[in-house]
């Protein structure tokens, strides 16, 4: 059983609303990641963090923002949701020595913006 939790699992929200997707892990991992996954498409890295107060943008441009105030918590925020943000968002974490291959993923948040 993965020790990384994402809430909510499903979210349907109206355009223009502010939303925060939660991600928490109990493994003490320093490295954490947010991926966006659309059906039949590869996972795209949108944000990552190598530790507290460290955040970087990933390869896929995203209007979302992240914060890392505590090791175990890596929330993602959309200030004003749009239909183009509809997707599945996956959070992951890794140990320092497993950052090249050993990600642990949460079950994801499926976001629908109407």
Partner 1 sequence: QKEVEQDPGPLSVPEGAIVSLNCTYSNSAFQYFMWYRQYSRKGPELLMYTYSSGNKEDGRFTAQVDKSSKYISLFIRDSQPSDSATYLCAMSAYSSASKIIFGSGTRLSIRP
Per rule CB under 8 A, is residue 75 in the interface with partner 1?
A: no
Nearest-angstrom CA–CA distance, 32 and 25: 9
Distances (CA, A) of 19 to 3, 31, 49, 50, 104: 23, 23, 20, 24, 24
Nearest to 106 by CA among 19, 1, 21, 6: 6
Per rule CB under 8 A, is residue 1 in the interface with partner 1?
A: no
Q: Which is nearer to partner 1, 15 or 26 (CB)?
A: 26
Per rule CB under 8 A, is residue 45 in the interface with partner 1?
A: yes
Nearest-angstrom CA–CA distance, 47 and 21: 13
Nearest-angstrom CA–CA distance, 39 and 21: 20
Q: Which is nearer to partner 1, 16 or 28 (CB)?
A: 28
Per rule CB under 8 A, is residue 59 in the interface with partner 1?
A: yes
Nearest-angstrom CA–CA distance, 79 and 18: 4
- Smallest distance from the beta carbon of 17 to partner 1, in angstroms? 24
Q: Which is nearer to partner 1, 75 or 108 (CB)?
A: 108
Q: Which is nearer to partner 1, 14 or 40 (CB)?
A: 40
Residues of this chain that bind partner 1 (CB under 8 A): 2, 33, 35, 40-43, 45, 48, 58-59, 90, 92, 96, 99-108, 110
């Amino acid at each position: 059983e993965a020790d990384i939790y994402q809430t909510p699992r499903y979210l349907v929200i109206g355009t223009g609303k502010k939303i925060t997707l939660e991600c928490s892990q109990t493994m003490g991992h320093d490295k954490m990641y947010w991926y966006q996954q659309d059906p039949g498409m590869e996972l795209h890295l949108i944000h990552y963090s190598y530790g507290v107060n460290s955040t970087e943008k990933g390869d896929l441009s995203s209007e979302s923002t992240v914060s890392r105030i505590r090791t175990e918590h890596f929330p993602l925020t959309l200030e004003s949701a749009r239909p183009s943000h509809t997707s599945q968002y996956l959070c992951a974490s890794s140990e320092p020595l497993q950052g090249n291959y050993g990600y642990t993923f949460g079950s994801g948040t499926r976001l629908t913006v109407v």
